[in-house]
Amino acid sequence: MTYCLGIINRFGIVMGADSRTNAGVDYISAYRKLFDFSVSGERVIMVCTSGNLSISQGVIHELKRDLHNQEDKSLHSLNHLYDIAHYIGDKSRQVQARERTWLEKDNIDFQCNFILGGQIKGEEPQLFLIYPQGNHIQATKETPFLQIGETKYGKPILDRTITYDTPLEEMAKCALLSIDSTMKSNISVGPPIYLSMYEANSLSLRHKLQLRLGDPYLAKMRKLWEDYVRQAFEAMPNVEWHYTDEDPKEDIIID
């Protein structure tokens, strides 16, 4: 399992991912899940992956091979990010179809998801979630973040914090807190953490970060967040109980 997210608003895009992959409690390894296919000054393209590792790696390999072979259809030849989302979806279906029969024989989940974010010159920044079936949805002003993988633990802070007007640096901090909260509650998510921050209309991915296990900033951020959450909890007023003089009636069970 893994956890990846993408956040978009008027100021740009933030994308982040952990790197942990496990096939049981005694076999844990790290693989990169956030990839940069940008061409400075022309297009910024970031891709996150989750799900079956062999399938997602196969899709990334196909994307890179099309670039190397200068195919007519590739991440660098398509002129709309919407078309690139379709293209990645097609590649995902092809790789799944090729491997599906053998994986299904051993009851192995072969599906994977992708988050695509970036901007092509002449268009607005965009963010897409691409499903295993190859179709996709797009983030909107009302729903400015997308998640894949182990999503539930990192969602509450995004729901309470992110808006279409949140400053980009604040979005980056929120993304890291979302990933850290997931790591705190689920051992299948872990470092290194990869984070990218793209400033809208710059057409250059200048801000990239890798945080390894024990990174001082990550440790400081976690401690501050836990301290402030505990302070907020302790400052909450006590529950206002409704007292009554009547004895509680026990439920009568009739067989």
Domain borders along the chain are 3-235
pLDDT at residue 252 above 70? no
CATH topology for 3-235 is Glutamine Phosphoribosylpyrophosphate, subunit 1, domain 1 (3.60.20)
pTM: predicted TM-score of the whole model, two decimal places? 0.89
Tokens of 169: 């640096």
Contact 149, 50 (CB under 8 A): yes
List, for residues 174-227, the tens digit of each pLDDT value.
999 999 999 988 888 888 999 999 999 999 999 999 999 889 999 999 999 999
pLDDT at residue 251 above 60? no
Beta bridge partners of 114: 49, 130
